[in-house]
Structure 1
Amino acid sequence: MSDADLLAALLDAAWRGGLIALLAVLAGRLWRARRGSALATTGGWLAAGLVVQLVSSAPSFEARVPLLSQVPCIAVATANSVLFWAFAQALFDDDARLGPRHLLAWLAVVLLAALNCSWLARPGASAAEQVAHVVLRLMPLGFALAALQATLAHWRGDLVEPRRRLRLLVVAGGVLYTAAQLALRLAGDDGRLSTAAALVDLAGLALLIGLMLRGGAGLAAALPVVAEAPAAAPVDAPLAAEPSPQTDAADLQLAERLQQLMRDEGLTIAALAARLAVPEYRLRRAIHGQLGHRHFTAFVNSWRLRAASQALADPACREQSVLHIAMAAGFQSIGPFNRAFKAAQGLTPSEFRRQRLAET
């Protein structure tokens, strides 16, 4: 081995060891911040999968270990795209939960990747098998696009500013890294990375992990709040939530003004900001900081459900139909209103009305 090759091998090993340490730090930070959450769980499994990827993608490992012995590692590394998709969902959706579909998707990718490496990639494969081989190698790109969709979904309504910035990081970092790694693999001999391509791959992964660690504030803000089962909101409570202790006078005034516009149908944060003649970032800050909501849709539904609850409990509104009250509160149909109301109050609107009117 020449001095240049030895230096490259040492540099490669040092980078991989450092990245494994950073992944341990990232997984530990997520676990300490919110143990047991979907985000901490998917982050931990993704970190473990990336460790397998770092070890198995080393040029020395690929050169010395027989291909069939590499198949389990390659399959796990390929399935990291599934974990990244689940991680993006958990990162940007407070209600995200891990379910059978995530496990089934991961197992399917592991099995298909193992089949691809052990059978379809063999010498002498038919033309149809070669096409299937190329298609299966594109699986990570499909899940990268799914992660992109999860990242951009409801972006406009996200009220947590650090998490909004983190969405751009995931788009620019994670998705582009997946695509770049796939391109490097397709350009290599037999899908293997050259020494130079391996260093490029490591640099991309190091940048992504470093940005995620540096964005710790965004990760902390993105963690869903762990709460007990939702309790029914008191119908005599004010329609505005308690303001934050760190009250900004302008934001508090803005929060009071927006209460008057909440019954508009098809309300969006952009339309509401235009009606109030304020920038969207200020409106998001006011709703999140002063009223305590993390997403615009949750804020709107919470306000409308409380308004409907007050009307249903009011003897003066006894003659009004449930549909009329739902529409007056801003709901556009009875079905979504009934489901949202029962989830919040534990009773259907009719049951809630009978109970409250009987009490009065």
Structure 2
Amino acid sequence: MTLSQIDLTLGAGTTTLLLLLAAVLFRDFRTVAAGRLATAFALGSAAHAMTATAGFAAPLTPWQAVLIAVSTGNVVVFWLFARALFDDAFKMRLWHAAPWAAVVALSLVNCLVLVPAQTLDPRIFAIVIGVISLGFAALAVVQTIASWSADLVEERRRLRVFVVVATSVYAAFNAILQLFVTGNGSPNILATANAAILAGVVAAIAYLLMRVNGESLFPAAEKPARAAIASPETKNADQKLLDALMRLMADERIYRHEGITIGSLATKLSVPEYKLRRLINRELGYRNFNVFLNNHRIEEAKAALADPSQAEVPVITIAMDAGFQSLGPFNRAFKAMTGVTPTEYRKLNDVRA
């Protein structure tokens, strides 16, 4: 079998798998942002697999140009997908479409205007796209690292590293291929390696996605945290740990401490971090450790704001006393939880602002 035949086989198999994955994701998770972005990312990856296999040559037809443009813009979808997957508070905004539209438009202009007119060295465009791809891949990796420690969902913690790192490695490989090989006569062996890496990454992601509970990755809705009561299946040791945790939160108000992490909290409770993470997630219903802390902080702030004896205490003082480091994050967290600002909450409770 020749390299071109191997390329075609790998490309066709990868494209088919991606289209099937997109259909399943859309069917099951189209109601949530992460599910819709996962579907879009799978479709964009299918477009990339097709363009990488087909080897389009100039002059391009409009449909070929569109396919290439969608493939090029998929790196922006990847960044948004990483944000939505690993940040439960993420919400899609209109401005999120702007970078994707800009990259797609740049690719279309190159394919339909610059290349036919031969007004620009193809290497220049390859370098621009390579830099953009590396930039958005780096943003996705930063998102993963930044939210890693606070993630309480075990399945998502296990999957996130592979999904983002593997896809980022491929994005980096593809970007380097464009930067240093495209335009110099890309050797067939590199094109085949590119197709093989993409096929392997897609197959592994599809396999892993089928093995995890989909609702752990794409929750249909934000569920309120449950009361601190263990389920009937909870072992006695877990109940004791739960009681000890709630004593720390209620009596010692450990959430006020600066720099508190799940690791330091586990150390204080003398338990492995994974056990505490699992307890807070499964028994109390939290998916993020920072949300767990902030809910306790906001409950304290709500009591202070509704207390007539503290009517003259500034909101920022109440926020700092509760454990927030600045007013901005406090205001955002407070409104997300209560639907009103701290000042409005104080007024609603008939306390002078």
Instruction: Tell whether 2:17 aligns with 1:25.
Output: no
User: CA contact under 8 A between 1:140 and 1:178: conserved in structure 2?
Assistant: yes
User: Which residue of 2 is the match for residue 303 of structure 1?
Assistant: 296
How do 1:190-209 residues align onto structure 2 when only pairs under 5 Å count? 190=183, 193-209=186-202
Structure 1 segment 160-171 matched on structure 2, within 5 A: 160-171=153-164
Instruction: Look up the match of 1:68.
Output: 60
Aligned to 1:82: 76
Paired residues of 2:255 and 2:323 also in contact (CA < 8 A)? yes
Cα 1:195–1:133 shift into 2, 3 Å: closer
Q: How does 1:73-222 map to 2 (within 5 A)?
A: 73-117=67-111, 118-119=113-114, 125=120, 134-188=127-181, 190=183, 193-216=186-209, 217=212, 220-222=215-217
Cα distance between partner residues in 2 of 1:181 and 1:333: 42
Q: Say which SS state the counterpart of residue 148 (structure 2) adopts.
A: coil
1:255 lines up with 2:232 in the alignment: no
| Letter of the structure 2 residue corresponding to residue 105 of structure 1 | P
- TM-aligned CA deviation for residue 191 of structure 1: 6.6
- Measured against aligned partners, the alpha-carbon deviations of 1:51-79 in whole angstroms (never above 9, x if no partner) come to 22222222xx326x424334433222111
Q: Which residue of 2 aligns with 1:282?
A: 275
Q: What letter is aligned with 2:58?
A: P
| Structure 1 position 246, deviation (Å) | 4.0
In structure 2, the CA distance between the partners of 1:254 and 1:11, relative to structure 1 (3 Å rule), is same
Q: Measured at CA, do residues 137 and 263 of structure 1 come closer, stay the same or move farther in structure 2, by a change above 3 Å?
A: closer
CA distance in 2, matches of 1:177, 1:183: 10
Show CA shifts across 1:240-288 (max 9, x none). 5443454243333223222312332332222222322322222211111
Change in Cα spacing, 1:100 to 1:352, as seen in structure 2 (3 Å) is closer
Q: Alignment partner of 1:209: what SS? A: helix
Q: CA deviation at 1:333?
A: 4.2
- Give the TM-score normalised by the residue count of structure 2: 0.82
Q: CA–CA distance in 2 between the matches of 1:57 and 1:336?
A: 44
How far the C-alpha of 1:195 sits from its partner, in A, is: 3.5
Match of 1:329 in 2: 322
2:93 counterpart letter in structure 1: G
| Paired residues of 2:319 and 2:330 also in contact (CA < 8 A) | yes
Counterpart residue type for residue 254 of structure 1:
L
Alignment of 1:220-239 (within 5 A): 220-227=215-222
| C-alpha displacement of 1:156 | 0.5
User: Counterpart of 1:252 in structure 2: which amino acid?
Assistant: Q
Q: Deviations over 1:150-175 (max 9, x none)?
A: 22222111111111122211343100
8 Å Cα contact 1:30/1:39 also seen in 2: no
TM-score, L = length of structure 1: 0.80
The within-5 A match list for 1:11-50 is 11-50=6-45
**What's 2:50 paired with?**
55
Give the alignment's Cα RMSD to 1 decimal.
Answer: 3.2
Tell me if the contact between 1:81 and 1:143 (Cα under 8 Å) persists in the aligned partners. yes
Check 1:67–1:88 CA distance in 2 against 1; reply closer, same or farther (3 A cut).
farther
> Runs of 5+ in structure 2 lacking a partner?
249-253
Tell me, yes or no, if the aligned pair for 2:78 and 2:140 is still in contact at 8 Å: yes
Identity %: 38
Query: Secondary structure in 2 aligned to 1:215?
Result: helix
Give the drift of 1:188: 3.9
Deviation digits for residues 177-203 of structure 1, max 9, x if unmatched?
011122334454527654432321222
Structure 1 residues 20-46: Cα deviation after superposition (integer angstroms, max 9, x where no partner): 221123223322332221112111222
Moved more, 253-262 or 326-335: 326-335
Asked whether the equivalents of residues 62 and 192 of structure 1 are also in contact (C-alpha less than 8 Å), the reply is no
Say how many residue pairs are matched.
Answer: 339
Structure 1 stretches lacking a partner, 5+ long? none
| Partners of 1:151 and 1:170 within 8 A in 2 | no
Partners of 2:185 and 2:269 in 1: CA distance: 57
> What CA distance in whole angstroms lies between the structure 2 residues aligned with 1:123 and 1:159?
53
3-state SS, counterpart of residue 256 of structure 2: coil
1:138 is paired with a residue of what secondary structure?
Answer: helix
- The CA deviation string for residues 127-155 of structure 1, in whole angstroms up to 9 with x for no partner, is xx965652343221111111111222221
Q: Would the aligned equivalents of 2:127 and 2:178 in 1 still touch at CA under 8 Å? A: no
CA contact (8 A) 1:27 1:40 kept: no
Distance 1:72 1:356, change over 3 A: closer
Amino acid at match of 2:97: L
